[in-house]
Structure 1
Amino acid sequence: MASRRNLAASLGAWSARHRKTALFGWLFAVVALTVLGSMVGQKSLTEADYGTGESGRASEILIDAGITTPAPEMVLVHSDGLTADQAGFRKAVADAITAVDGTGLAQGIGDPYKTGAVSEDGHDALIQFTVKGDPETAPDRIQPVVDAVTRTDRANADVTYGQYGAATGLLGINDALGEDFAGAEYTAVPVALGILLVVFGALVAAVLPLILAITACVAAMGLLALSSQLVPVDAMTSSVLFLMGLAVGVDYCLFYIRREREERAAGRDPQTALQIAAATSGRSVLISGLTVAVAMAGMFLSGLTVFEGFAMATIEVVLIAVLGSMTVLPAVMAMLGDKVNAGRIPGLRRKARVRTANDKPGILLGAVLKAPALFALIGIAGMLALASPALSMKTEKLGFDQLLPADNVTAQTAGRIEKVFPGAPAPAQIVYQTNDITSPAATKAIADFQQTALASGQVKKPIDVTLHKKENIAVINAPLAGDGRNSVSTGALDALRDDIVPATLGDAPVGGDLAFSVDYNDQLKSSIVPVFAFVMGISFLLMLTCFRSVVIAITAIVLNLLSVAAAYGVMTAVFQKGWGDELVGTTAVGAIESWMPLFVFVVLFGLSMDYHVFVVSRIREAHDRGLENKAAVAHGIRSTAGVVTSAGLIMVAVFAVFGTLSMQDFKQLGVGLAVAVFLDATLVRAVLLPSVMVLLGRSNWWLPRWLGWLPDLEHGGPEPAAAPRPAPQPVAQSFSDAVAEAPSRPAAAAERSFAAN
């Protein structure tokens, strides 16, 4: 029977025939994208781009009016021995004001003795000011002020100074991101290389996937710079791109190379082995990559620009990695031939093992096959137990002092300011727009707001009012009760929005840090259902089309949901409840970063399909070859156990590296992904998947008659074309026949078959 058309096999065949074109075309594309991306530059999100809801409307009013709010900064003056009414303390405050003013970068410097920003116990005073110029570039220009405060600190032994604000906070985060990204890059790559050396036992085979993954990341970085002109990206996006690109790029190559080595071990000539690897593992890579990309596309439904940037970056790097593994990898492997095994590492010699239907299962798989119901129950119970802490998951937009390590000086200053001057770092910002901001009616409305707000106890002094007469807008900064982000502050914000502002200022929107966090969380919560429905729905359709089975598609969805739920549970236990937080070098912050659950769901749902497609494809190969259900399941699990374990180990290692970084959101992301991938590659694929498929029996491949129009895709290797004339020598068969231990035919005939494909 003629083989069905297989895109992966066709691309692999073309690349093998046009080796130099594929290789140099890839290198040219990587260089071109890198150069173009460098010329254009990556466009980052502005503060307004993050906005949504009422706080987003407040930002839009100011942007439309051309009003930029200067970046606020604060210098905290503290002394354990002196109080604010003593001469030494007063001199320290005056010296700090002089130092800040002397930089020429500050405006509106507030003397704490005049603004009332002195703590109740008198040991702290807060100097507030704003940074001149564009607030977006303030982090790049704030260093002279930081240096001036540092010099003043050295000159006053009886007091300590700390600086925090929009500019220094973002500067600290950017510095931490830069250090974290560099640390991840320098750590993840050697770790992945070490694992690949163990897996392959040969330098060339180990380096090849890594080079391809890195070049895919480099190309994707360039492409991201171009696409960011349309969809601006967050500062974290490049790190997320690298994280995803390295993980999937190495895994895709690993699937491909391992299958080729397996076919060579079965006696196939290089051309036929590469043909089968292209048609089987290459096809799995294509389906997996498309599934991951589609899952990532779900983030476009979040309604938040930051997620659109994440989606663009991850889709780009995954598709580039898929393209590389399906084109340049076959070309390079065709060039190298058996030299791919060059550079053998002493003591790590690895030889691919040929699995047949007659092989006995290992101890674990044998037990699962004998008692599938018991192991399915144990596996599901274990996953649900790990997921149970997620029932109490609390999400919030983490503050600056929560994102950075507890020993970070700027983060400590931020925490001290919030404790001593609650609400001061992040007041609510009311944007009041009217026809004439100087009219008696507008003046009275603002005065009524101040009086009502202070009388309510929900707002504290000082309330700062800035009039923009030309634009007829008043910007009112009102410190909220509480610490600026606890339940007391949230209640105060609700009172402002629901009662105080409507009664005095009409429909003026309320913004500020807490308002932004609340609106951001609300938007994420409202987008969870459409994002989840989209990702699961499209994944179901892809699995249904790929395997022509409703049951297989449903099983894939359920098992992936179990992995995601377990990741949520572990993240909640570690970062919210503090169970074992010291093991990952952090202190629990009492909440999960608000964007983390949605992002982790999308990423894990896509990545879990990698292993699912790869394993079930091998099971389907055996089933199509005529093996009964249990034997097909056993053969598929045995055949993929080594590569799935190796691929999972690489992903876990890469994600775990990010879990060791300093930024709290990187830690949460790294730990969550590492745990989920570990569980997915071990418990799910080794216990749950085989036990469930054995229990379901022939129902695994059930397809309603009305879906009979779905394409019947080939899951085994393509059958070679017939030899041009009879010959006494053995003839190479398809992969299915190879498993049945048929002999091989001459390499020339196999090569003609590969070229014909």
Structure 2
Amino acid sequence: MFYRLGKFATRHRWLIIGMWVLAAVLALPFAPRAGQVLQSGGFESPDSESQRAIDLLTQKLHVSDNIVQILFTSKRYSVVDPQFSQEVQQALTHLRTWPEVAGVASFLDNPRQISEDRHAAYVNLQMKGDANTAAKLLPDFEKRLQKVPDLQVSVGGGPVFYNDIQVVSENDLRRAEILAFPFAIIALLFMFRSVVAAVLPALVGGFAVVVSLALIFGLGHLTPLSVFVLNITTLFGLGLGVDYSLFMVSRFREEIARGRNIEEAVSITVATAGRAVAFSGLTVTIGLFGLTFFHINMLHSVGLGGILVVILAVTAALTLLPALLGLLGLRVNAFPVRIPRLGRHGFVFNAHAVEGEIDPHHGFWYRLSHFVMRYPLWVFFPVLILLISFGIPFLSVRFSAPDASILPAYVPSRSAYDLLTQRFNQRETTPILIAAQTRGNVLTPENIQNLYYYVKRIKADPHVERVDSIVSADPRFSLAQYQLLYAHPQLITDPYLSAFLKSSVSRNTLLIEVISKYGMVDPQSQVLVQTIRNTDPGHGISVLVDGGTAGNIDYVSSLYSDFPLAILIVSLTTYIVLLLLFRSLLLPLKAIVMNTLSILASYGALVLIFQDGFLHQWLNFTPLGFVEASSPILLFCTIFGLSMDYEVFLLSRIQEGFWQTGDNRQAVALGLQRSGGIITSAAVIVIVVSACFATADMILVKAVGVGMVLAVVIDATLVRGLLVPATMRLLGSWNWWLPFIGIQRRPPALAEYSEPVGIVTMTTATNETDMQVGGKL
């Protein structure tokens, strides 16, 4: 099938190129606008208890986390000075009357919104609509917020956070694209030593990215998509598009170096490297498909966007690239580049476009594989122990949901977050919220009694600093006084208590705020939340718990309750695909284990770098003290497919060697020699592209970029160069065993274009007419 596809692409090359050019032209107006349809949130699970709690409070009490916080600070004035309050009122003049503002909660109404040094205070403005809608209104918000002479004003909160995520993500993407394209071209020039050959992979990757972004623009109108789709789409589009093209172009040059005519060379390229590309793309797609099982929209949408770009990258590699190769022919080696290399007598220059099948007895990878296979146990166990040790730091991982700390310090929401953390009591700003529902009206004497004793039980917990509720508003009041007070709520004269009652009670629904003695992400606060959830209020009272700590617990729980299923489905499906590709029972299992080792090593790096702060000065970020909970999942689903990419190409060449020789040991040496340099080159491309994304200011994107760089480095060196030949040697002929069939030999379909074993070289002179092409030996 792939051989015939190569024939078709060569014979109808103008039609295929024309269709891709038309697709790119149609996509160009929409691709730059993809970010306009993407959303910044998507970190909540709709089925979690915390989300159900906030939905209930929003419906009944109009409580919302769609809050813009305005922080006012002054070195000159204290909050109690009249000038401070006057300037705050002046700043808010046009915001109080703005129809988009649903309510204002000032520090004048709540003294707990005043800093401990009493030189800062904040005002909460509840916005209408959701956070993404409010984020779009921020330009108007800033125009209405008047400047005042003596106060410094900082703006934060959910809508600002989401807007900053959008802005920073787009800036990160532009920076990565500006860096990735030229560096990828330079790396390809070093690999191919030909301008035309180097441009082809970048061209195919660019086509895949442009069309993908246009399709994402359309998909974003049909379903909510996270803004992180942009970064992942570009990362995979460039990385895989260039990778796949690199394998295809390299194989094509090998075939023309053997004296094939252009049509035959393209057909064999598609039938061999193209077949591996198709199965590799399928394994990467399977890895990304695992993300669609999560209820968290950010992961779900990244999975959809990733699948889309991988499909397009594979399609471009199997259609557009063969058509271009058929059109270029020997001109693929045109415009050779003279690159210095280190020889015996110093640096020398050459313009070799390619070395095809070099003498296997003199190749580095051939010699390395034979050395490893001579001492397989001495190589296998030390490397295995080393990789496991890389992953050991992951045992001390601490997970948390993303907050403003994942953003760079210069954006507004991060500045406001840092100010709030430094000047205010964080425990006061991140309370535990309990949405309680009673039988009948909350204010009946019976319900007041039941709630009074329930709150008293919560206050008795040693983790609790304070409980704010209508039955604990004044510690001097007894139960009887509360019952008497709420028997006629319209007669309450105290303005604070009247406002508190109005904001926290609506018929049968009550809001209770619990202040922990510990910080939001402290394990002791998590224990408190679990204790409240496990405590039965009794008397027909039902409770749902929300707040920062509860949201973190539910976020992590939602992710890692779905993660085992995703791992199982991804691993099982990948195993079946590789079983069909390699016709072996053991090779797919070995490939999955090898990938797992690379992933575990990157997991350990996540903890060392982003939780503990190792190398944070070089990577330009502030250590989080935790690992953002979605990062390991993103890395698993991306690295699993990407590492399997190299495994597929390596084992495909080893399989071809086994079909030729029937000797497992010789097949491993030949396969590693034929693919080792190309896989290393492909790994360099992915490392370059991933490193460009590791420069991101957004820590979530930076973590994925750094994790991919480390995983690919480990995968392309320790795993492919040492572990794979060692395990292949230990398994011997069992590598190729399939029940009921036995040891697999050469399939008849490949007999017509099997490779000769010998020396084939091709050199390219300084002009096209002087090309010399070596034939079969």
Q: Please report the TM-score for the alignment, with normalisation by the length of structure 2.
A: 0.84
Give the conservation status (yes or no) of the 8 Å contact 1:434–1:442.
no
What is residue 476 of structure 2 aligned with on the other side?
Answer: none
1:664 paired with 2:699, answer yes
1:74 paired with 2:69, answer yes
Q: 2:146 and 2:369 mapped to 1: Cα distance?
A: 64
What is residue 724 of structure 1 aligned with on the other side?
Answer: none
What is residue 323 of structure 1 aligned with on the other side?
Answer: 315
Q: Give the percent of matched residue pairs that are identical in Structure 1 and Structure 2.
A: 27
What is residue 420 of structure 2 aligned with on the other side?
Answer: 417
What is residue 748 of structure 1 aligned with on the other side?
Answer: none
1:108 paired with 2:111, answer no
What's the offset of the Cα at 1:450? 6.5
3-state SS, counterpart of residue 508 of structure 1: strand
What is residue 355 of structure 1 aligned with on the other side?
Answer: 357
Change (3 A) 1:35 1:412: closer
What is residue 529 of structure 2 aligned with on the other side?
Answer: 493
Change (3 A) 1:680 1:666: same
Q: 1:713 and 1:184 mapped to 2: Cα distance?
A: 45
What is residue 385 of structure 2 aligned with on the other side?
Answer: 381
Q: 1:648 and 1:620 mapped to 2: Cα distance?
A: 21
3-state SS, counterpart of residue 74 of structure 1: strand
1:591 paired with 2:610, answer no
Change (3 A) 1:480 1:21: farther
What's the offset of the Cα at 1:182? 1.4
Give the conservation status (yes or no) of the 8 Å contact 1:240–1:314.
yes
Give the conservation status (yes or no) of the 8 Å contact 1:99–1:149.
yes
Change (3 A) 1:378 1:146: same
Change (3 A) 1:625 1:331: same
1:669-708 alignment, distance < 5 Å: 669-705=704-740
Q: 1:465 and 1:239 mapped to 2: Cα distance?
A: 46
1:241 paired with 2:240, answer no
Q: 1:134 and 1:713 mapped to 2: Cα distance?
A: 62
What is residue 754 of structure 2 aligned with on the other side?
Answer: 735
3-state SS, counterpart of residue 69 of structure 2: strand
Q: 1:620 and 1:647 mapped to 2: Cα distance?
A: 20
Q: 2:181 and 2:429 mapped to 1: Cα distance?
A: 40
> Residue deviations 1:423-481, cap 9 Å, x none?
45444444445676576369737777767656753545588666699996555665554
Q: 1:669 and 1:616 mapped to 2: Cα distance?
A: 27
What is residue 371 of structure 1 aligned with on the other side?
Answer: 375
Change (3 A) 1:442 1:161: farther
Give the conservation status (yes or no) of the 8 Å contact 1:107–1:129.
yes
Give the conservation status (yes or no) of the 8 Å contact 1:33–1:222.
yes
Change (3 A) 1:137 1:607: same
3-state SS, counterpart of residue 103 of structure 2: strand
Unaligned runs of 5+ in 2: 341-350, 471-499, 762-777
Unaligned runs of 5+ in 1: 1-6, 721-733, 743-757
What's the offset of the Cα at 1:739? 4.8
What is residue 642 of structure 2 aligned with on the other side?
Answer: 607
> Residue deviations 1:580-602, cap 9 Å, x none?
22221223211111011112111
Q: 1:307 and 1:177 mapped to 2: Cα distance?
A: 16
> Residue deviations 1:163-183, cap 9 Å, x none?
211122222222111211211
Q: 1:46 and 1:588 mapped to 2: Cα distance?
A: 22
Q: 1:449 and 1:229 mapped to 2: Cα distance?
A: 47
3-state SS, counterpart of residue 605 of structure 1: helix
3-state SS, counterpart of residue 2 of structure 2: helix
Letter in 1 for 2:353: K
Change (3 A) 1:503 1:491: farther
Q: 2:416 and 2:106 mapped to 1: Cα distance?
A: 19
Change (3 A) 1:416 1:514: same
Change (3 A) 1:479 1:553: same
The one of 108, 119, 125 equivalent to 1:129 is 125
Q: 2:723 and 2:512 mapped to 1: Cα distance?
A: 58
What's the offset of the Cα at 1:677? 0.8
Mean Cα displacement is larger for which, 526-535 or 432-441? 432-441
Q: 1:393 and 1:469 mapped to 2: Cα distance?
A: 40
Give the conservation status (yes or no) of the 8 Å contact 2:290–2:569.
yes
Q: 1:64 and 1:740 mapped to 2: Cα distance?
A: 76
What is residue 57 of structure 1 aligned with on the other side?
Answer: 52
Give the conservation status (yes or no) of the 8 Å contact 1:396–1:594.
yes
Change (3 A) 1:537 1:19: same
Mean Cα displacement is larger for which, 472-481 or 241-250? 472-481
Q: 1:244 and 1:198 mapped to 2: Cα distance?
A: 22
> Residue deviations 1:113-144, cap 9 Å, x none?
33112233323322222224554311111234
Letter in 2 for 1:489: S
3-state SS, counterpart of residue 561 of structure 1: helix
Change (3 A) 1:346 1:741: closer
Letter in 2 for 1:413: A
Q: Please report the TM-score for the alignment, with normalisation by the length of structure 1.
A: 0.86
Change (3 A) 1:66 1:229: farther
Change (3 A) 1:692 1:260: same
Change (3 A) 1:384 1:150: farther
Q: 2:745 and 2:457 mapped to 1: Cα distance?
A: 70
Q: 2:467 and 2:70 mapped to 1: Cα distance?
A: 20
Change (3 A) 1:436 1:79: same
What's the offset of the Cα at 1:111? 3.2
What is residue 20 of structure 2 aligned with on the other side?
Answer: 26
Q: 2:146 and 2:2 mapped to 1: Cα distance?
A: 61
Letter in 1 for 2:673: R
Change (3 A) 1:587 1:145: same
> Residue deviations 1:42-78, cap 9 Å, x none?
4648669643321232355468889683721222233
User: How large is the RMSD of aligned CA atoms in angstroms?
Assistant: 3.3
Q: 2:75 and 2:270 mapped to 1: Cα distance?
A: 71
Letter in 2 for 1:736: E
